[in-house]
């Protein structure tokens, strides 16, 4: 398994940024195996961090590398700063465009990633859960599955909660509530264009003692009432890595991936 840090210039963000990529291209399960000359096209997860985090969070706090290697899954981890993965009115802060268009195109050009919608997934925690759900629904032609863990959906649960949102990049919260910054609006627009059978598959999870639990349940129920297929998981706990470590493993097991098969490494050497 290769762990790669890429330094690239982003047209959307008007600056040079770093991304992390997990690529199981060098996976070996048996030293006697012959190396194939045909490169596989990997199913790919674009994985988003939470508020105050960065591209390293998932790798440092979970067994993501082992999970990705076992399932032959490529994982791309950008930094979204604290901008909720939306295009900001501020110049050089088009995070939606960067995540959903530019980053997908760049990584597909750099690495042997599948270009198929059914092989392309987006997920995240907290702020990143909001970004994954909102952008996954808006860009439903790109992403075949969406994962949101403890997603920060509360700012758009009702007009009243949105109007009190303390987010510097929302100049007019009431206007934003009616726009596609609201994941419910994204879902409604998608539902007018495609049949429920074509909706992205959705995985949602939230700990029961998390302050975001009510807004996640509210959004889950709205999706289900309108024909979306939603897998839901909850556990006792809070808004922390104890919960997210469990959920990233459950989510990867839920995705339509190869059967788990560990590769040879320092922790898995056949004798």
The model's pLDDT over 223-265, given as tens digits with 9 standing for 90+, comes to 999 999 999 999 999 999 999 999 999 999 999 997 766 665 5
Give the Cα separation of 26 and 90 in Å (integer). 41
pLDDT tens by residue, 190-203: 999 999 999 999 99
Q: At what angle do helices 127-138 and 183-193 cross, to 10 degrees?
A: 20
266 in a structural domain: no
Q: Which helix (H) or strand (E) holds 75?
A: strand 73-77
Q: Which residues of 173-205 are buried (b: 16+ CB within 10 A; e: fewer)?
A: beebbeebbbbbbbbeebbeeeeeeebbbbbbb
* Nearest in space to 264 (alpha carbons), one of 36, 70, 60, 22: 70
268 in a structural domain: no
Percent of the chain scored above 70 by pLDDT? 83
Handedness of CA 19, 152, 97, 68 (dihedral sign): positive
Structural domain including 64 reads 2-29+41-254
116 in a structural domain: yes
pLDDT tens by residue, 102-132: 999 999 999 999 999 999 999 999 999 999 9
Give the total number of structural domains in the chain: 1
35 in a structural domain: no
270 in a structural domain: no
Separation in Å, CA 193 to CA 139, 140, 146, 174, 228: 12, 10, 18, 25, 14
Q: What pTM was computed for the model? A: 0.90
263 in a structural domain: no
269 in a structural domain: no
**Higher local confidence (pLDDT), 36 or 149:** 149
188 in a structural domain: yes
CATH number at residue 134: 3.40.50.1820
Bridge partners of 48?
124
């Amino acid at each position: 398994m290769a762990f790669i840090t890429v330094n690239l210039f982003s047209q959307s963000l008007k600056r040079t940024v770093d991304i992390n990529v997990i690529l199981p291209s060098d996976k070996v399960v048996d030293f006697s195996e012959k190396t194939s000359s045909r490169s596989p096209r990997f199913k790919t997860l674009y994985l988003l961090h939470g508020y105050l985090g960065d591209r390293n969070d998932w790798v440092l706090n979970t067994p993501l590398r082992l999970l990705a290697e076992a399932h032959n899954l490529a994982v791309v981890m950008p930094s979204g700063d604290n901008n909720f993965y939306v295009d900001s009115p501020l110049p050089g802060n088009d995070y939606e465009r960067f995540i959903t268009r530019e980053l997908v195109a760049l990584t597909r050009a750099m690495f042997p990633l599948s270009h198929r919608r059914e092989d392309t997934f987006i997920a995240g925690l907290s702020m990143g859960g909001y970004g994954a759900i909102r952008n996954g629904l808006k860009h439903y032609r790109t992403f075949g599955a969406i994962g949101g863990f403890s997603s920060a959906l509360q700012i758009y649960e009702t007009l009243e909660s949105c109007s009190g949102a303390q987010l510097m990049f929302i100049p007019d919260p009431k206007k934003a509530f009616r726009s596609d910054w609201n994941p419910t609006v994204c879902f409604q627009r998608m539902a007018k264009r495609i049949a429920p059978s074509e909706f992205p598959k959705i995985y949602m999870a939230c700990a029961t003692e998390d302050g975001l639990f009510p807004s996640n349940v509210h959004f889950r129920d709205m999706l289900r009432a309108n024909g979306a297929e939603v897998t839901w998981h909850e556990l006792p706990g809070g808004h922390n890595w104890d919960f997210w470590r469990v959920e990233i493993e459950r989510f990867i097991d839920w995705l339509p991936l190869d059967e788990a098969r560990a590769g040879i490494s320092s922790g898995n050497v056949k004798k």
